[in-house]
Amino acid sequence: MVRWTLARGLLAALLVLSAVPLSLGLGASFGELSAHAQGVVQQIRVEGNKRVEPETIRAYLTFAPGDTYDPAQIDESLKVLFATGLFQDVRIRRDGPTIVIVIVENPIVGRVAFEGNREIEDDTLSSEVQLKSRAVYTRARVQADVQRILNLYRRQGLYGAQVDPKIINLDSNRIDVVFEIAEGPTTKVRAINFIGNAAFSDSQLRYIISTTQTNILSFLKGTNIYDQDRLSLDRELLRQFYMKNGYADVRIISATADLDPAGRGFFITFTIEEGERYRFGIIEVESALPSLKTDALGPYILVKSRKWFNSDKVEKTVEALTLGVSLQGYAFGQVKPRFDRDLSNRTINIVFVIDEGPRVYIERINIAGNIRTEDRVIRRQFRLAEGDAFNRLLVEVARKRLRALGFFKTVEVEAETGSSPDRVVLMVKVVEQPSGELSFGAGYSTSEGVIGDVAITERNLMGKGQYVRLGFSGSLDRAQVDFSFTEPYFLDRNLAAGFDLFHKEVNLTEESSFSQRDTGGNLRLGFPIADNTQMGLRYRIAQQDLFDVANNASLAVKEAEGVSIVSSVGYTVAYDSRNIPSSPTSGYFASFSQDFAGLGGDVNYVRSVADARAYYPITNKITLVGRAQGGNIQGWGGEDVRLTDLFFKGGETIRGFKRAGYGPRDACESPITGGRVPICAKDSLGGQLFWATTAEVRFPFPYIPDSIGMQGAIFVDAGSLWDPSQLALDAVAQEGSFILDSAGVRMSTGFSIIWQSPLGPLRADFAEALLKEDFDKTEFFRFGASTNF
């Protein structure tokens, strides 16, 4: 008891002696322990940073001093810091009430280089990758650039390319990035096949798509390179082609590209489900708009009952009806076609339903992606402008027009919300593609021998949408150079205006004992006048020179020797409804043209030429082709037609006859005695009237796959050329001879082999003349081959 009292007294004394310091020390220690126990962050310290300021790093954290320590917030802050791409490594540790952020900064890129690339230039690769000089390096970014480079090479057909990024360390936390590229062999499209196509052959469908098979001349263009975007475009092209030819239920089920085991090329296969072929049935217009005069909309309906279904004409009708409705005062009128299939009769009835669409206006039309093409080239494809009523169907029509230009790889048009609910902004996004082309042509014909041509074409000159072409062509008997320029929207209207310059020399010594040289130019203007119908106006001025006349030439040829100026105006009206212009199986083509010479110059004449062709599918594989053509030329103002302006016809119209093989010809003998006129050649002298007809049946060869693209044909040709000019008659009479002339029918029959070869179309004709005159010149075999690539 005494001891405890003594101890307590000593302790009280000690407390008195050191009351203040002891109280303060114990108080501080208890406070820190209390805060530590509660897990409050008192301080954030950053270590390892060299470029990035500590405050910048603290700004990314999801916690701050004074917050309760939370491991979840620490983990979230780690993710945020790594996501900035500024740091190679980040560690966060706890040092009592202090949080320490330890970072390792990503290096700065000093230079980006490429090695081993031969097919793709450095500039192209630099524009593709995201890593740039003075950018922050990250592993994710460099791996993404590796994939971008590989994708670029794959678009060039180099699917075996490999890319290995190398890092060269420099001082001050800087690096150089070098992409080492092994390009490997080029991987091209080796074959294009179709499955399920019964209505059209493989060779015909290959003309529709943009991808081409590889041949020995494919190095001159890039369409034989496999491209996934181009394959998607080809699917759409095939679908549209079938829809335009009556196959409303067509489905392009798949488009696959299989790389052969050796990696040498792709085999592309399109699987098609054609479905039934339909005709248009009953066509009606139904309106929900008050006082709309539907009877007045008849001229805007372009589809006709009993004609083959054509989705393109349906779209054009919708566009035309929309315009017709707006002209009656309904700016927001919209037209929607309602289809009703009659499976038993294989017809599609259409009701064009007209009602009032939402009252939404176009606030702006924004265009992106057109680096080269001017905005106005894109805007003029829209039949809409800022402030007009928004019509989704017309926007889709504009998108298709833009894609049809051939300037863009992809076209997207999106309607975005404008500044108010009744306003939309049209966002047009395009990806440009090359619009220039260097093409070469080569071939052989029995009339001219080896032929060839070279042409440089630009379809989008300086981004203005203008067309320009410079071409050189020739053979053993012909040399020609021409230059063409076309402005497709002259005066911002649907008028194609342009001019041509040309120089041409033709050796006709074998046919008519002279050569001819033409030098001049054309001014032209073209425009549509109806559905599928175009009209062209032209003015032509040329200097014609008949020279190099043989000593034994007909006197008619000798008297025509010399130079003359031809100044003429003319027009052409053409109608074309062929399904495939390059290899049609159905449809019609007709044209009529006239030229009036005498608007100045040395000669006066009126020339008229008509041409009509029809294609009728007897079956899906057999096509009947018919053609009729004719022409007439007459002088006026007391002048006769010169020799060089007359018609010369041969195997190009009636097979089985040589070039200029039928028609008026110098007899080179006396009309009285029948004796031979000395120093005289039986020259072809041309005629003022001609006609020619053809009937041909084209069919596939049995046991030969459609993929080969080979056809046979049997044909009958008939026609005539007669009526030489009075100048020729008078000249021949002076030499004591006369002209052999007959309007009698010439006729031939035979068969042909047609091959859509990888190098272009080839055709061999074997013909026997059944009806001819004794003075005509015939041939049994005629061969022609030419290709553009």
* pLDDT number for residue 33: 41
Q: What is the pLDDT of residue 188?
A: 82
The pLDDT, as a whole number, for residue 31 is 42
Q: How far is CA 293 from the centre of its chain?
A: 40
pLDDT value of position 221 = 63
Phi and psi dihedrals of 305, rounded to 5? -60, 145
For residue 175, list its beta bridge partners: 109, 169
Residue 510 near residue 447, CB atoms below 8 Å: no
Give, in degrees to the nearest 5, the angle at Cα 778 between 776 and 784.
Answer: 135
User: 305 and 281 in contact (C-beta within 8 Å)?
Assistant: yes
Q: What is the pLDDT of residue 227?
A: 80
pLDDT band at residue 344 using 50, 70 and 90 as cut-offs = very high
Q: What is the mean pLDDT of residues 195-199?
A: 91
What interhelical angle do 228-244 and 311-327 show, nearest 10? Answer: 80
Query: Which structure tokens are listed for 154?
Result: 């794959």
Cα–Cα distances in Å, from 602 out to 492, 506, 569, 596, 637? 37, 21, 14, 13, 12
| Distance of alpha carbon 14 from alpha carbon 29, whole angstroms | 20
In angstroms, the CA 517 to CA 643 distance is 13
- Are the C-beta atoms of 50 and 68 separated by less than 8 Å? no
CA-based nearest residue to 727, from 640, 668, 614: 640
Q: What percent of the chain has pLDDT over 70?
A: 90
- Cβ–Cβ under 8 Å, residues 718 and 747: yes
CA distance 173 to 230: 44
SS3 554: coil
The CA-based dihedral angle spanning residues 9, 10, 13, 17, taken in that order and rounded to the nearest 10 degrees: -170
For the ranges 25-39, 241-255, 436-450, 463-477, the lowest mean pLDDT is seen at 25-39
First-to-last C-alpha distance (Å) of the chain: 121
> Given CA atoms 11, 12, 17, 20 in this order, what sign does their dihedral have?
positive
Share of the chain above pLDDT 90, in %: 47
> 650 falls in which pLDDT band (50, 70, 90)?
very high
Residue in the block written with tokens 């002259």: 490
CA 11 to chain CA centroid, nearest Å: 103
Between CA 130 and CA 112 the distance in angstroms is: 10
Q: What is the DSSP letter of 51?
A: S
Question: What confidence category does residue 758 fall into, taking pLDDT thresholds of 50, 70 and 90?
Answer: low
Does residue 681 surpass a pLDDT of 70? no
Is the pLDDT score of 705 beyond 80? no
Look at residue 15 in the predicted model and tell me its pLDDT: 38
**Across all residues in the chain, what is the average pLDDT?**
86
Please state, in angstroms and rounded to a whole number, the distance separating the CA atoms of residues 20 and 22: 6
The closest of 195, 214, 327, 332 to 272, measured between CA atoms, is 195
Judged by average pLDDT, the poorest of 61-70, 710-719, 750-759 is: 750-759
pLDDT at 219: 56
Token pair 């911002």 is found at 492
pLDDT in tens, 364-377: 999 999 989 999 99
Q: How far is CA 418 from CA 331, 711, 756, in A?
A: 19, 57, 52
What's residue 4's pLDDT? Answer: 39
166-170, 378-382, 538-542, 757-761: least confidently modelled range: 757-761
Residue 5 has pLDDT above 50, yes or no: no
Confidence class for position 25, pLDDT limits 50, 70, 90: very low
Residue with tokens 């005159």: 773
Q: What is the spatial distance between Cα 381 and Cα 741, in angstroms, rounded to a whole number? A: 55
pLDDT for residue 709 is more than 60: yes
pLDDT at 145: 92
Q: CA 82 to CA 131: how far, in whole Å?
A: 18
Give residues with Cβ within 8 angstroms of 281, minimum separation 6.
305, 340, 342, 345, 347, 348, 349, 350
Weakest mean pLDDT among 264-273, 433-442, 559-568, 653-662: 433-442
Q: Give the separation between CA 15 and CA 20, rounded to whole angstroms.
A: 9
Structure tokens, 179? 């992409």
- Of the pLDDT bands very low, low, confident and very high (cuts 50, 70, 90), residue 574 is very high
pLDDT digits (tens, 9 = 90+) for 404-454: 888 988 899 998 988 988 899 999 999 888 888 777 666 667 667 777 788
Q: Which helix (H) or strand (E) holds 340?
A: strand 333-342
pLDDT over threshold 90, residue 172: no
Please state the rounded mean pLDDT for residues 212-241: 79
| Coil, helix or strand at residue 237 | helix
- Residues 682/697, Cβ–Cβ less than 8 Å: no
**Rounded average pLDDT over 487-496:** 91
Q: Identify the residue with better confidence: 161 or 631.
A: 631
Q: Both tokens of residue 701?
A: 């060869």
Phi, psi of 435 (to 5 degrees): -115, 0
**Torsion on CA atoms 440, 443, 449, 453, rounded to nearest 10:** -10
Gap between the Cα atoms of 475 and 441, Å rounded: 11
**What is the residue-wise DSSP string for 576-587?**
E--SSTTS-SSE
> 574 forms bridges with which residues in the sheet?
534, 591
> Nearest CA to 338 among 259, 298, 284?
284
Task: Give which of 710, 696, 692, 701 is closest to 756, Cα–Cα.
Answer: 710
Place 56 in a pLDDT band, splitting at 50, 70 and 90.
confident
Taking 70 as the threshold, does the pLDDT of residue 759 lie above it?
Answer: no
- Amino acid, res. 729: L
Q: Residue 734 belongs to what H/E stretch? A: helix 726-734
Beta bridge partners of 380: none
d(CA 472, CA 456): 9
- The gap from C-alpha 436 to its chain's centroid, in whole angstroms, comes to 11
Secondary structure (DSSP) of 745-771 = PEEEEEEEEEEEETTEEEEEEEEEEEE
Which residues on adjacent β-strands are paired with residue 589? Answer: 576, 613
> Across residues 181-198, what is the average pLDDT?
87
In terms of Cα–Cα distance, which of 570, 590, 717, 693 is closest to 633?
Answer: 570
Give the pTM. Answer: 0.69
| Predicted pLDDT at 788 | 38
